[in-house]
C-alpha cells in the first residue's frame, strides 16, 4: 500500500472498537501515526498492540473538557503536530419513544455524540490552525432520516451535521476541512445492540430482514468500508472536500 | 376564509387529480380560476363544477409541452380576467401513460423518455416562462414535483429525473423571479389517490403503506389546500422551498 497519509498524525475517538478501530488500522497501514481515544482500556490496549509502533492510546471520557485537551496535547508533545481527527466516538442510547425515555438518557446521548464532538472541535481546530488539517465526524443515516424509538440518537446525529457545517466555515480560512461520514447499518456491536433492543429477528447472517429490505445493496456494511471513506476524507486526496455529508449506506438514503 | 379575494389563479393539469382539487380550493378562497388541461372533457367538467358553486372560471385546453399552446393559455387568462396572481403547475404524467411502469432504465424507449420530460419538466419550464411575463409583484407560483424528486424509485427513471428537474427549476426560478416580486415554491406529494397513481396504489399500496408513518395515502384536497396556502400572503417568506407532503414517507 502507498502512504496515503504518510507521516500524518491522527487522533481517533472511539478508536478501540468498531469503525474507529478499522479506521485506525487503515490509517496506520497508510503511514499515519494514530492516537486512539476510548473509555474501554482493554480494547484500546489490544487494538493499539495489533497496530504496533505507529499506535498509542489515551483512556478518556470525551464528554469531559479535559479529554480533548489531553489528546491534542499528546499529539503535539509526541509528534509536534496534529493533521487528522476522526471524531467518531458515539453511543446509541436506550430504545424507546420520546415520552418513555428518561431525559437523563437523552442528555447522555447528546453529551457523548454532540458535546464530545464540540469539545473535540474546540481543541483540535486551534491546533490545526497553522498547518491545516482534516476532521471527519461520524454521523449516521440517522442524521438524515428519522425512525421511531431512537429520537435522541437521531437528534444527535442531525446536530453533528450542523456542527460540521459551522466548523467547516470556521476552519476554511485555515485550510482545516471538516466533513461527516454517515454510515448505514454496519457490522459492529452498535447495530447488534440496536437490533437486539428492538427485538428484530435476525436471519442466519445476523442481519435484520426488515432492515435489509431498505438497503438497496441488501447487506449491512463492514467497518472497513466506512474506514475507507474516512481515509479518503482524512488524506490530501479530498483536498477540495469540506462541509460535505458523505453517506456510506448501501443506497438507503437514495430510497 | 377568502385569502385570495380578487385574485386570479391558473391551474395546469386542472382537469383531474391534484389540479382539479386545487382549482376548487382556489375558488373557495375567493379567486377566479382558469383551469387548463389537455383533456377537454375533464377540464370542462371542472369548470362546470366551479360555475355551479358560484365561482368565476374559464376552461382552457392545453398541451403544456407546446410553447405556442402555453403562450396562448396565458394570453387567454389575461384576456378574460386582466391579471394573473397565482399559478399551480400540476400538469404531469406518470409511468403508466408511457408504458414504463416497472420498466428498468436500460429498457426505456426514447419516445417514453422524451414524452415524460416534455410534459413533466419542459412543460413546467414553459409554463413558468410565460406565467412570469404576465404576473406582477406579489404573485406566487407553485410547481408539483414528487417524493420521486427527492429519492430514487426503481422502474421509474424518466419520471424520477423529470421530478428532480422540477425541483432544480423551481430553485432557479425562485432566485430569478424574486426581482419581479414573484415567489416560486414546489410541493413534493407522496402517494396521493389520483388517476396518475391508481395502478401503483392498487398493485403496491400495502407495501407502500408500511413505510408511511401516517399509514395512509394522501387526498388530492390535502395537496390542493397546501398549494393555495403557498399562493397566499400567509406564505410570504417562502421562496425556493421544497415541501414534501407525504405523510412522512421521505423522512424514514
Encode pLDDT of A82-98 as tens digits. 999 999 999 999 999 99
Domain-located, residue B230: yes
Under 8 Å between Cβ of B85 and B31: yes
State how beta strands B57-61 and A133-138 pair: unpaired
Domain-located, residue B68: yes
ipTM score of complex:
0.78
Sign (positive or negative) of CA dihedral B100, A145, B185, B226 = positive
Query: Is B210 part of the contact surface with chain A (CB cutoff 8 Å)?
Result: no
Q: What percent of chain A has pLDDT over 90?
A: 89
* CA–CA gap between residue A84 and residue B42 (Å, rounded): 63
Q: Which residues of A touch B (CB under 8 A)?
A: 145-147, 214, 253-255
Residue with grid cell 394573473, as numbered in its chain:
B84
pLDDT at B1 over 70: no
* CA–CA gap between residue A173 and residue B79 (Å, rounded): 56
Going through chain A in order, the beta strands assigned E by DSSP cover 9-13, 33-38, 55-59, 84-87, 133-138, 176-183, 245-248
Contacts of residue A158, defined as CB under 8 A and 6 or more positions apart, other chains included, come to A139, A142, A143, A144
Question: In this predicted model, what pLDDT tens digit does every residue of B31-71 receive, in sequence order?
Answer: 999 999 999 999 999 999 999 999 999 999 999 999 999 99
Domain-located, residue B95: yes
B202 class by beta-carbon count within 10 Å (0-12 exposed, 13-18 middle, 19+ buried)? exposed
Let me know whether A157 and A95 are in one domain: yes
Full residue range of the structural domain in which residue A205 is found: 186-220
Q: What share of chain B is helix, strand, coil (3-state, %, to 5)?
A: 50, 15, 35
Let me know whether A110 and A42 are in one domain: yes
The number of distinct structural domains making up chain B is 1
The number of distinct structural domains making up chain A is 2
Under 8 Å between Cβ of A249 and A184: yes
Domain-located, residue A255: no
Let me know whether A155 and A208 are in one domain: no
Mean local confidence (pLDDT), A104-132: 96
Rounded to a whole number of angstroms, the distance from the CA of A142 to the nearest CA of chain B is 9
So what's the pLDDT on residue B75? Answer: 98
Contacts of residue B157, defined as CB under 8 A and 6 or more positions apart, other chains included, come to B100, B104, B105, B108, B113
Domain-located, residue A207: yes
Residue B179 DSSP code: G
pLDDT at B145 over 70: yes
Domain-located, residue A15: yes
Let me know whether A207 and A172 are in one domain: no
Query: Is B215 part of the contact surface with chain A (CB cutoff 8 Å)?
Result: no
B151·A146 Cβ contact <8 A = no
* CA–CA gap between residue B174 and residue B134 (Å, rounded): 16
Q: Among partner residues A146, A254, A255, which is closest to B251 by beta-carbon distance?
A: A146
* CA–CA gap between residue B234 and residue B140 (Å, rounded): 11
Domain-located, residue A3: no
A147·B252 Cβ contact <8 A = yes
Question: What order of strands is seen across the sheet that includes strand A133-138?
Answer: A55-59, A33-38, A9-13, A84-87, A133-138, A176-183, A245-248
Contacts of residue A130, defined as CB under 8 A and 6 or more positions apart, other chains included, come to A174
B152·A146 Cβ contact <8 A = no
Residue of higher predicted confidence among B92 and B211? B92
* CA–CA gap between residue A98 and residue A104 (Å, rounded): 12
Going through A145-230 in order, the beta strands assigned E by DSSP cover 176-183
Q: Where are the alpha helices (H) located in chain B, listed in sequence order?
A: 17-28, 40-52, 67-81, 110-117, 123-134, 157-177, 198-210, 220-231
* CA–CA gap between residue A165 and residue B172 (Å, rounded): 23
Chain B from 97 to 156: CB within 8 A of any A CB: 151-153
Let me know whether A131 and A210 are in one domain: no
A153 is catalytic: yes
So what's the pLDDT on residue A218? Answer: 93
So what's the pLDDT on residue A96? Answer: 94
pLDDT at A110 over 80: yes
Record the cell numbers describing residue A67, joined without a space: 479529554
Under 8 Å between Cβ of B142 and B227: yes
So what's the pLDDT on residue A205? Answer: 83
Does this model's pTM top 0.80? My answer is yes
Give chain A's count of helices (H) and strands (E): 9, 7
* CA–CA gap between residue A158 and residue A152 (Å, rounded): 10
Under 8 Å between Cβ of B25 and B228: yes
Q: Band the pLDDT of A2: cuts 50, 70, 90.
A: low
B236 class by beta-carbon count within 10 Å (0-12 exposed, 13-18 middle, 19+ buried)? exposed
Residue with grid cell 408539483, as numbered in its chain:
B144
Record the cell numbers describing residue B214, joined without a space: 401516517
Mean local confidence (pLDDT), A23-30: 98
In B, which residues are within 8 Å of A214 by CB distance?
Answer: 211
Question: In this predicted model, what pLDDT tens digit does every residue of B96-133 receive, in sequence order?
Answer: 889 888 888 889 999 999 999 999 999 999 999 999 99
Closest CA to B9 of B60, B63, B62, B48: B60
Let me know whether A109 and A152 are in one domain: yes
Domain-located, residue B17: yes
Q: Band the pLDDT of A206: cuts 50, 70, 90.
A: confident
Full residue range of the structural domain in which residue B117 is found: 8-190+221-245
Would you tell me how many other CB atoms lie within 10 Å of the CB of residue A49?
10
Let me know whether A144 and A215 are in one domain: no
A255·B152 Cβ contact <8 A = yes
Let me know whether A162 and A202 are in one domain: no
In B, which residues are within 8 Å of A145 by CB distance?
Answer: 251-252
Mean pLDDT of chain B: 95
In A, which residues are within 8 Å of B211 by CB distance?
Answer: 214
HSE-CB of A221 using CA atoms within 13 angstroms:
25
* CA–CA gap between residue B126 and residue B237 (Å, rounded): 25
Record the cell numbers describing residue B212, joined without a space: 408511511
HSE-CB of A43 using CA atoms within 13 angstroms:
16
Rounded to a whole number of angstroms, the distance from the CA of A253 to the nearest CA of chain B is 8
CATH number of the domain bearing residue B72: 3.40.50.720
Let me know whether A196 and A127 are in one domain: no
Domain-located, residue A190: yes
Mean local confidence (pLDDT), B157-184: 96
pLDDT at A1 over 60: no
Question: In this predicted model, what pLDDT tens digit does every residue of A155-165 receive, in sequence order?
Answer: 999 999 999 99
Let me know whether A62 and A101 are in one domain: yes
* CA–CA gap between residue A85 and residue B100 (Å, rounded): 48
Mean local confidence (pLDDT), A35-52: 97
* CA–CA gap between residue B145 and residue A130 (Å, rounded): 47
CATH number of the domain bearing residue A112: 3.40.50.720
Record the cell numbers describing residue A32, joined without a space: 499515519
Residue A243 sits at φ, ψ, to 5 deg, of: 75, 15
Q: Among partner residues B151, B153, B252, which is closest to A146 by beta-carbon distance?
A: B252
Q: Among partner residues A145, A214, A254, which is closest to B251 by beta-carbon distance?
A: A145
B153: nearest CA in chain A?
Answer: A255
Q: DSSP 3-state assignment of B37?
A: strand
Amino acid at each position: 500500500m502507498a502512504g496515503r497519509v504518510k507521516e500524518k498524525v491522527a487522533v481517533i475517538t472511539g478508536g478501540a472498537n468498531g469503525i474507529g478501530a478499522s479506521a485506525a488500522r487503515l490509517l496506520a497501514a497508510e503511514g499515519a501515526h494514530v492516537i486512539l481515544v476510548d473509555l474501554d482500556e482493554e480494547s484500546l490496549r489490544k487494538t493499539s498492540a495489533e497496530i504496533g509502533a505507529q499506535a498509542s492510546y489515551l483512556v478518556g471520557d470525551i464528554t469531559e473538557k479535559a479529554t480533548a485537551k489531553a489528546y491534542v496535547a499528546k499529539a503535539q508533545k509526541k509528534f509536534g503536530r496534529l493533521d487528522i481527527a476522526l471524531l467518531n466516538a458515539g453511543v446509541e442510547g436506550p430504545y424507546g419513544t420520546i415520552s418513555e425515555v428518561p431525559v437523563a438518557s437523552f442528555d447522555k446521548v447528546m453529551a457523548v455524540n454532540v458535546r464530545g464532538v464540540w469539545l473535540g472541535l474546540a481543541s483540535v481546530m486551534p491546533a490545526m490552525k497553522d498547518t491545516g488539517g482534516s476532521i471527519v465526524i461520524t454521523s449516521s443515516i440517522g442524521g438524515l432520516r428519522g425512525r421511531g424509538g431512537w429520537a435522541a440518537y437521531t437528534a444527535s446525529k442531525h446536530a453533528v451535521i450542523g456542527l460540521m457545517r459551522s466548523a467547516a466555515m470556521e476552519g476554511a480560512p485555515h485550510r482545516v476541512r471538516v466533513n461527516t461520514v454517515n454510515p448505514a447499518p454496519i457490522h459492529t456491536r452498535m447495530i447488534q445492540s440496536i437490533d437486539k433492543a428492538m427485538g428484530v429477528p435476525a436471519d442466519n447472517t445476523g442481519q435484520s430482514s426488515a432492515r435489509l429490505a431498505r438497503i438497496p445493496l441488501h447487506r449491512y456494511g463492514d467497518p472497513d468500508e466506512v474506514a475507507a471513506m474516512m481515509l479518503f476524507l482524512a488524506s490530501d486526496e479530498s483536498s477540495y472536500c469540506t462541509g460535505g455529508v458523505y453517506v456510506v449506506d448501501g443506497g438507503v438514503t437514495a430510497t | 376564509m377568502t385569502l385570495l379575494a380578487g385574485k386570479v389563479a391558473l391551474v395546469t393539469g386542472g382537469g383531474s387529480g391534484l389540479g382539479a382539487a386545487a382549482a376548487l380550493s382556489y375558488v373557495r378562497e375567493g379567486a377566479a380560476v382558469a383551469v387548463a388541461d389537455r383533456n377537454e372533457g375533464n377540464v370542462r367538467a371542472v369548470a362546470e363544477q366551479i360555475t355551479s358553486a358560484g365561482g368565476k372560471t374559464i376552461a382552457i385546453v392545453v398541451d403544456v409541452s407546446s410553447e405556442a399552446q402555453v403562450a396562448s393559455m396565458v394570453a387567454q387568462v389575461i384576456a378574460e380576467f386582466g391579471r394573473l396572481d397565482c399559478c399551480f403547475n400540476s400538469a404531469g404524467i406518470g409511468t403508466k401513460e408511457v408504458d414504463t411502469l416497472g420498466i428498468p432504465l436500460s429498457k426505456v424507449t426514447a419516445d417514453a423518455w422524451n414524452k415524460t420530460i416534455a410534459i413533466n419538466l419542459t412543460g413546467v419550464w414553459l409554463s413558468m416562462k410565460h406565467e412570469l411575463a404576465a404576473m406582477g409583484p406579489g404573485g406566487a407560483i407553485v410547481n408539483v414535483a414528487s417524493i420521486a424528486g427527492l429519492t430514487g424509485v426503481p422502474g421509474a427513471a424518466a419520471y424520477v429525473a423529470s421530478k428532480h428537474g422540477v425541483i432544480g427549476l423551481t430553485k432557479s426560478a425562485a432566485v430569478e423571479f424574486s426581482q419581479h416580486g414573484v415567489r416560486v415554491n414546489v410541493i413534493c406529494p407522496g402517494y396521493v389517490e389520483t388517476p396518475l397513481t391508481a395502478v401503483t396504489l392498487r398493485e403496491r399500496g400495502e407495501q407502500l403503506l408500511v413505510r408511511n408513518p401516517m399509514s395512509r395515502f394522501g387526498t388530492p384536497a390535502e395537496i390542493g389546500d397546501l398549494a393555495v396556502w403557498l399562493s397566499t400572503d400567509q406564505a410570504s417568506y417562502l421562496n425556493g422551498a421544497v415541501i414534501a407532503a407525504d405523510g412522512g414517507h421521505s423522512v424514514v
